Amino acid sequence: MVDTNKNKISSKHPVLDVRGVTHSFDYPLFSNVDLTLNEKESIAIMGTSGSGKSTLLNIFSTLLKPDSGEVYYNNQNIFTLSNKEILELRKNAFGIIFQSHYLFRGFNGVENLHISELLNDTKIDDSLIIKLKIDHILHQGIGELSGGQQQRLSTARVLTKKPKVIFADEPTGNLDKKTAIELIDILFEYIQQYNASLMIVTHEKDIAFRCDSVYELIDHKLERIK
């Protein structure tokens, strides 16, 4: 008899593998965090404010070295890579949508997107700009944009470089429900179209449960709840 379930499991391609990650700042934040993110799949991370969600994303995306544990990207331990290799990974493979948007404030929207095109040798996807409903604000200065408009522009900038893994830290925090759903739909479509993966931090349960798996950071442990 053919074991279809086994075939299904073996066809999964792990992109990010996290093993025993433990970290403290002034006090222990979390210990022995394990998870696997597969190609074309999404993971949501929930948890109360201050529990360490952004710190986890910083570790998974190379920005912070944990006290102990390993993070593998395509079977390579990212914390054993050279500085040059880490920079390559951040530039080409990882797309980080930060909780506070890092847009270049001296430039307008379209200039911010051009910077991403130049750095990554890619082209802005015009249909993405329309879908994100930011076509009419591209010539405004960053300081003139609302929080939600900056959030959508940051998303466009990150997707322009065609990352393999998107790390999104509360990307819908400033958006109304309808715009939030539209933005999440764009991220889900993107990972299917480009064989990428998504890790998203969110406080919104209905967004989290659309992901393939959901974890909660609670009592210093990352527990899987879906």
Ligand X SMILES: Nc1ncnc2c1ncn2[C@@H]1O[C@H](COP(=O)(O)OP(=O)(O)OP(=O)(O)O)[C@@H](O)[C@H]1O
54 binds Mg ion (CB under 5 A): yes
- How would DSSP label each residue in 102-156? ---TTSBHHHHHHHHHHHHT----HHHHHHTT-GGGTTSBGGGS-HHHHHHHHHH
CB of residue 66 to ligand X, shortest distance in Å = 12
Residues 64 and 69: their CA atoms lie apart, in Å, by 12
Binding site residues, ligand X, CB under 6 A? 25, 29, 47, 49-55, 99
Q: Which is nearer to Mg ion, 41 or 170 (CB)?
A: 170
Q: Which is nearer to Mg ion, 2 or 27 (CB)?
A: 27
CB of residue 50 to Mg ion, shortest distance in Å = 8
Specify the amino acid at residue 32. N
Residue 50 binds what, of ligand X, Mg ion, none (CB under 5 to 8 Å, by partner type)?
Answer: ligand X
CB of residue 211 to Mg ion, shortest distance in Å = 17
Q: Measuring CA to CA, which residue among 123, 103, 115, 97 is closest to residue 175? A: 97
Q: Which is nearer to Mg ion, 51 or 62 (CB)?
A: 51
Part in contact with Mg ion (CB under 5 A); list of ranges 18-26, 95-103, 113-121, 206-214:
95-103
Q: Which residue has the tokens 């609670």?
A: 218
CB of residue 168 to Mg ion, shortest distance in Å = 11
Residues 214 and 104: their CA atoms lie apart, in Å, by 33
Residue 1 binds what, of Mg ion, ligand X, none (CB under 5 to 8 Å, by partner type)?
Answer: none
Q: Which is nearer to ligand X, 38 or 99 (CB)?
A: 99
Q: Which is nearer to ligand X, 63 or 110 (CB)?
A: 63
CB of residue 203 to ligand X, shortest distance in Å = 7
Strand 42-47 relative to strand 28-38, pairing: unpaired
Residue 47 binds what, of Mg ion, ligand X, none (CB under 5 to 8 Å, by partner type)?
Answer: ligand X
- Measured at the CA of 203, the angle between CA 47 and CA 214, to 5 degrees, comes to 65
Residues 151 and 153: their CA atoms lie apart, in Å, by 5
Residues 103 and 149: their CA atoms lie apart, in Å, by 11
Burial 75-112 (b: 16+ CB within 10 A, else e): eeebeeeeeeebeebbebbbbbbbeebebeeeebbbeb
Part in contact with Mg ion (CB under 5 A); list of ranges 18-26, 52-60, 79-87, 136-144:
52-60
Q: Which is nearer to ligand X, 19 or 220 (CB)?
A: 220
CB of residue 107 to Mg ion, shortest distance in Å = 26
Interacting residues with Mg ion (CB under 5 A): 54, 99
